């Protein structure tokens, strides 16, 4: 039996594939970026995709903790470290 995109199962599959694409593209940007700022943005996009996967798997608490811990702490700490190291490179 063929599933169409206009059924609930078809839309769930599309949402999952979109979420998978966001995660993979974010990971590729994070790994292949030459500048640290672009790598951090790719890392944030990848983390959003992973949090979306957790939410898709009916774990909203784990998804929110992933957003708070990884995006809110790790990515911001890397961005602040980049700004601090850029200030010392200018001198």
Specify the pLDDT at position 1: 57
| Range of weakest confidence among 1-5, 7-11, 14-18, 80-84 | 1-5
Specify the pLDDT at position 80: 87
21-75 pLDDT, tens per residue?
A: 999 999 999 999 998 889 989 999 999 999 999 999 999 999 999 999 988 888 8
Global pTM reads 0.80
Residue 26 burial (C-beta neighbours within 10 Å; 0-12, 13-18, 19+):
buried
């Amino acid at each position: 039996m063929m599933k169409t995109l206009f059924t609930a199962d078809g839309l769930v599959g599309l949402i999952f594939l979109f979420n998978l694409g966001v995660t993979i593209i974010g990971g590729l940007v994070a790994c292949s970026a030459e500048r640290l700022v672009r790598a951090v943005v790719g890392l944030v996009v990848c983390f959003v995709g992973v949090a979306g996967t957790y939410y898709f798997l009916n774990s909203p608490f784990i998804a929110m903790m992933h957003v708070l811990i990884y995006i809110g702490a790790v990515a911001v700490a890397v961005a602040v470290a980049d700004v601090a190291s850029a200030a010392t490179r200018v001198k």
